[in-house]
A and B are shown apart, each in its own frame.
Chain A
Amino acid sequence: MGSDSDSQTKLHDDMELRARIDRSLRHPVMFFFASGAAWLAVALILGFISSYQSHDTRFLSGVGFLNYGRVYPAHLNVLIYGWGCQAAFGLIVWLMARLSRKECTCPGVILTAGHIWNFGVLAGMLGILWGYGSGKPWMEFPSAIWPLFLVSYFFITVWSFIQFRCSEPGKTYVAQWYLLAALFWFPWVYLTAHLFVFVFNGHPVMAAGVNAWFKYALIFLFFTPVALGTSYYLAPKVTGRPVYSYPLALFGFWALAIIGPWAGMQKLAGGPLPQFMPYVGAAATVLILIPALAVGVNILMTLRGHESQVVASPSLRFTIAGIASFLILGLVGMGLNTPAALKMTQFSLTGYGFEILAIYGFFSMCAFGGIYFIVPRVTRREWLSRRFIGWHFWLTIYGIATVVVCSIMGGLFHGAAQEAYNSAWQDAAKISYAYTVGTTVAWGFILFGSLFFLLHLLLMWARLGRRSQHPTLLQGEHHGESPHGPEDDLDKLHTAEA
């Protein structure tokens, strides 16, 4: 009896600690998620415009700041730095605090640094639209922005590292490996690439190579570990089942750490670089399927036998969609980087499809899963509408599948048509017409879905969520079996009392 009450008190203390951690982080985390979702909507509008212009060149052609050469880079940069990085910051900050079991002592600094980051995104986007973009893919923000981003990054994430160092020695969770790795890899990748492209006076071909490497390094060494850390947290947390296999998790992590940094330079295959650079890049992108298999098997096996929870829990549903996308990303990466396919991908729509699959299909879906889990905890309110969540999920799933299939398939035909060099280039552009129209329509769907997400998130931020002890589930009665654990104790107690 005594030990039972001890464990009850322990559980109670533990719950209070978790509630305190969530409370300490409510302002920065909600700020990152809400402003990230707002930037996501902006990025999607820009993506719709740029995709529309790729099949109808007259669209908005009279508006100088909205021509294709400016809208397209603005679309990708806002997607990456406005939405992707900010969603990642929110996830890292919250997950590291929870996993290290430390309250955040300086939410104000994180919040201030977050505002600076947002200012950077705004200034960068306007800079691109006003014609001051740098013209280097994914680094198009005017070059004054990147040092600002690095400083702001330091003040956002250094506390997570301190929390990890100060946590009680003992268990380090799989999720923590990935998050900690992402914390170190981001500044390494970001600083190295920007120094070689903007500061050092190296050979311009090499700068183009570093630029190509930067895109893949950002995907595989920042967005991927954050998404995987979130999934490795959510899958066991929601199902209540431990991660399927620790050795497999270890294998998957180190495979990513070893393979990830090599990918990217295949963009320059056939260019005047030492041959090994593009071909090692292509081989490494093929090899990404190995960590994808390890993680995919591990997470899916963790969820096996909990199918009803996967269906009902918004977090798990988005997570499983993200993990499936990671497996598809690995398979597509293998297909596109074989020598026969590689030359079709370098100057066609295919590369765009691959990047969108990585950033949206994989990272963003995992991030949505995390956000649907975290927001009710930090706001102490439940999501308002299961319909909003359902619409967000299905519109995004169908939209992303369409964008990726259209861009990759259309891109391959496009690339093959460009190889027919004794017919006019316009013929190649005509071949991709139907696919670009499909992409535009799909961006419209995704935009529509993510507007529901933005609205829902803003309502939650305004603390207008449901005041309830029952989570918002996508299926089943609110009072039925919950994937988030038993929750009808209170009802039973009330009945007993009455």
Chain B
Amino acid sequence: MADSKKPADSSRPDLEDSTSVVDRHEGLLAQGAAQAREKQVAETGMEPVSLWVFVASAVVLLVAGGVLGAGGKLFSYNPHPQGYTRTEFVSDADTGPTIGPILTALTKRGKNIYAKCSGCHGSTGNGDGNQFPPLAGSDWVTGSTERLAQIILNGLSGPIDVGGKTYNGVMPAQAPLTAAELAAVMTFVRNEFNDVGDIVTVEQAANALKVYESRPQGQITVKELNEKYDKMLEGEPVDPATMVDFETLKPAAAE
């Protein structure tokens, strides 16, 4: 057997006929037909590269240089690079008078701040009748201003009686507020939902903030409010009809 497999002449393998070429090919291809038909490429081309590739690359480099140039001073922290500065906002809408009674000025400003409160107390100040007490017709709003200011700044926990009904929820603290914001929102709830007719001045609100800062952090209770804060805020009252500039809230001559 061994002899018969040997080619008759080793230099002429094609004369050897003991193995079937077809069989060998079939075996080979069954193992790896895909591998067998693969092409072998060992070398790498050295074709000349068109100059246009480099010309195009140079154009890209120029564009990139322009982009980098638009950055201005590269190591500065200037947050207003080219194209990132807004022009002054000019509204097309009629914004109304810029001078008017201080009551109007504070109520108008307070309305924007109240947007935050309206989620619970409702846009008409009527609460939800269940968990969140109404502001309209509430003694807590129309009564002493210092008490109201401390509720707004500290938030409130524990039961509270409003209009003959006990509410037992938790109000989160609304601080930090600026004195002007506090004055505006207090004036708004006292005059929009109720009919108190006076204003809380910025000076009074600033005093409320001082009281708030001297008090330890944490929500206030009805007991503490009635013991310590059941009084009007310190500060000169201002006539609600005083003409002021809406921007600065400083007295101004009527136009």
Contact = CB atoms under 8 A, between A and B. Distances in A.
A19 B34 CA distance: 9
A62 interface: no
A15 B71 contact: no
Contacts of A284: 64
Contacts, number: 182
B76 A490 contact: no
Interface of A: 1-2, 5, 11-12, 14-16, 18-19, 22, 171, 173-174, 236-249, 269-276, 278-280, 282-284, 286-287, 289-290, 293-294, 297, 301-302, 334, 337-340, 342-343, 376-377, 380, 382, 421-422, 468-469, 471, 482, 484-487, 489-490, 493-494, 497
A322 to B, nearest CB: 20
Nearest to B65: A283
A342 B66 CA distance: 13
Contacts of A174: 44
B97 interface: no
Interface of B: 11-14, 21-22, 25-26, 28-29, 31-50, 53, 56-57, 60-61, 63-68, 70-84, 86, 89-92
Dominant SS among interface residues on chain B: loop
Contact of A15 (B28, B50, B74): B28
A334 B60 contact: yes
Nearest to B75: A274
9 contacts: A1-B11, A22-B35, A246-B44, A248-B53, A279-B81, A339-B67, A380-B31, A422-B90, A487-B37
B37 A486 contact: yes
A342 B84 CA distance: 10
- With a 10 A CB-CB cut-off, give which of B82, B90, B92 has the most chain A CB atoms: B82
A15 B44 contact: no
B38 A242 contact: no
A19 B39 contact: no
Dominant SS among interface residues on chain A: helix
Contacts of A173: 44
A287 B64 CA distance: 6
B74 A275 contact: yes
Nearest to B63: A286
Contacts of B91: 422
A276 B47 contact: no
Contacts of B32: 15-16, 18-19, 22, 377, 380
B81 A270 contact: yes
Nearest to B13: A5
B45 to A, nearest CB: 4
- With a 10 A CB-CB cut-off, give which of B26, B43, B60, B76 has the most chain A CB atoms: B60
Given A171-B42, A469-B29, A485-B39, A272 B79 contact: yes
A287 B70 contact: no
A269 B31 CA distance: 58
Contacts of A337: 67
B18 to A, nearest CB: 16
Contacts of B50: 297
Nearest to A241: B41
A234 B31 CA distance: 22
A485 B37 CA distance: 5
B46 A377 contact: no
B33 A469 contact: yes
A15 B41 CA distance: 14
Contacts of B13: 1, 5
B75 to A, nearest CB: 6
A279 B37 contact: no
A237 B38 CA distance: 7
Contacts of A2: 11
B182 to A, nearest CB: 29
B63 A334 contact: yes
A497 B20 CA distance: 10
Given A2-B11, A283-B64, A494-B22, A422 B83 contact: no
Contacts of A469: 29, 33, 36-37
A339 B83 contact: yes
Contacts of B42: 171
Nearest to B33: A469
A241 B45 CA distance: 8
B11 to A, nearest CB: 7
Nearest to A21: B35
A279 B65 CA distance: 10
B90 to A, nearest CB: 8
Contacts of B31: 16, 19, 380
Nearest to A486: B37
Contacts of B41: 236-237, 240-242
Nearest to B58: A290
A490 B29 contact: yes
Contacts of A338: 63, 66-67
Nearest to A255: B57
A289 B67 contact: no
B76 to A, nearest CB: 6
B33 A248 contact: no
A379 to B, nearest CB: 9
A240 B39 contact: yes
B72 to A, nearest CB: 6
A7 B5 CA distance: 21
